[in-house]
A and B are shown apart, each in its own frame.
Chain A
């Protein structure tokens, strides 16, 4: 199922820590079970750690252009 643009954080040209901050802010607006999409040019391992601690699930796919698309379930 596609995730709508308003639930996507495209952080591909943002400097740290903006991608992390934007993702946490969007997660705070979601209801349990809702999904969001994070786009980055790297795998966000520190974010994974926080997602795990907060009980979120995620799935990551590496696209041909080098984009890591992280689908996060609130």
Chain B
């Protein structure tokens, strides 16, 4: 290994994470398709069947899928914690999460207990296998960096959001009498802040400086941020359980303040980056970080002035800004770097060198990704405006969202195809 080749036995095979990245965009397209079919009804309330289905197509079908695929790759590189059998885990989790997300959306859409049961079984299988495999690798290594601490906490967050989700599915399918509204708030907060938010920060600590050539995240806040989010989530959950109004509102304010501090810090790091030209990842992250600030401002405003939520448009607008304005673009921005990097690494590991080894930006070129980004921004903007003018804009927003998602899938598939073509030139 003294040759300077970047090849190590801990890196999982490319096929393990790549399958998640290629199928995930189709769930954004399905959410767009629901908007086209259901039109204004999808934005009428957070609780309509179409809104619940679309929310879970985005959060489970897209976000969770990409995050699980990425973690298979990230754990050995960021934490030195390789899964024991990454390809086996991928082969079980990938179909289970895809079919589970489809069944979940179908179950919400048609209020069908059978579909909800199927979704619960498939998603429980996916999460048990993943949390078991990732947890046994991750909890063996010491927390020597803020990223490792964040990854461990996020896995706990995943167990909470998965467990609470499965519990609610059983309740819905079985017609149990439970305070579902409060449970849904808990489920959403643990999913978005405890799992997705903490994971995003833990991975950002590594990939933002690495791929965007920014300074590093200062150590002290980086250690503290995931723990702060977790502590606030726990206190806020207790406040909800005891029906304590003002502590629950204070919890939301603190979550908003913590998230905003992370977003502002990342924007400041990006302002000091050493890469002259803004690439697609940078643009997606700028968009996502400003979207996150808007969503967190709405969260804080809702905590200070609860009457805002009396307007039925408030919560769908908040959800759209948080998902299409923040989480989805931040994740797509990471994909735009991680996918070509993994393809390139795989080619190198197959012995391609010199001219036979194409640079990363030839595997996933900038130009089509930049145009895809513009369509995505138009889709997200139109979706937000559709909250104000649902009759006019919900269907066009859905069409644009489908276009952005399909284009993303095509770009990623083309990159995989270029990798395959190049691989044919590899020495035997």
Choose the segment among B19-27, B54-62, B206-214, B232-240 that binds chain A (4+ C-beta atoms closer than 8 Å).
B206-214
Q: How many residues of B contact A (CB 8 A)?
A: 34
Asked if B215 contacts A64 (CB within 8 A), the reply is no
Asked if B78 contacts A45 (CB within 8 A), the reply is yes
Residue A65 at the B interface, CB < 8 A?
yes
Given A41-B210, A45-B78, A49-B80 in contact, is the A24-B147 Cβ separation under 8 Å?
Answer: no
Choose the segment among B8-16, B126-134, B241-249, B291-299 that binds chain A (4+ C-beta atoms closer than 8 Å).
B8-16
Asked if B6 contacts A42 (CB within 8 A), the reply is no
Residues in chain A near residue B79, CB distance under 8 A: 45
Other-chain residue from B4, B76, B205, B220 in contact with A42 (beta carbon distance below 8 A): B205
Given A42-B206, A46-B8, A65-B219 in contact, is the A13-B213 Cβ separation under 8 Å?
Answer: yes
Asked if A66 contacts B213 (CB within 8 A), the reply is no
Residues in chain A near residue B9, CB distance under 8 A: 49
Residues in chain B near residue A25, CB distance under 8 A: 4
Residues 176 to 205 of chain B near chain A (Cβ within 8 Å): 205
**In whole angstroms, how far apart are the Cα atoms of A24 and B6 in the complex?**
10
Q: Which of B2, B4, B144, B222 has the most CB of A within 10 A?
A: B4
Q: Which of B2, B78, B147, B345 has the most CB of A within 10 A?
A: B2
Asked if A24 contacts B78 (CB within 8 A), the reply is no
Asked if A15 contacts B76 (CB within 8 A), the reply is no
Residues in chain A near residue B3, CB distance under 8 A: 24
Number of A-B contacts (CB under 8 A): 88
A57-71 Cβ-contact flags toward B at 8 Å (1 or 0): 000101111111000
Q: Which of A46, A60, A62, A66 has the most CB of B within 10 A?
A: A66
**In whole angstroms, how far apart are the Cα atoms of A65 and B211 in the complex?**
18
Residues in chain A near residue B145, CB distance under 8 A: 42-43, 62, 68
A19 nearest in chain B by CB position:
B210
Given A15-B211, A46-B11, A50-B8 in contact, is the A27-B2 Cβ separation under 8 Å?
Answer: yes
Residue B258 at the A interface, CB < 8 A?
no
19 pairs of residues in contact across A and B, judged by CB atoms under 8 Å: A12-B215, A13-B274, A15-B211, A21-B6, A24-B2, A28-B2, A41-B206, A41-B216, A43-B145, A45-B10, A45-B76, A46-B11, A50-B8, A54-B2, A65-B218, A65-B219, A66-B222, A67-B216, A68-B145
| 10 nearest A-B residue pairs (beta carbon) | A66-B216, A41-B216, A45-B80, A41-B209, A24-B4, A17-B6, A42-B206, A43-B145, A21-B4, A13-B274
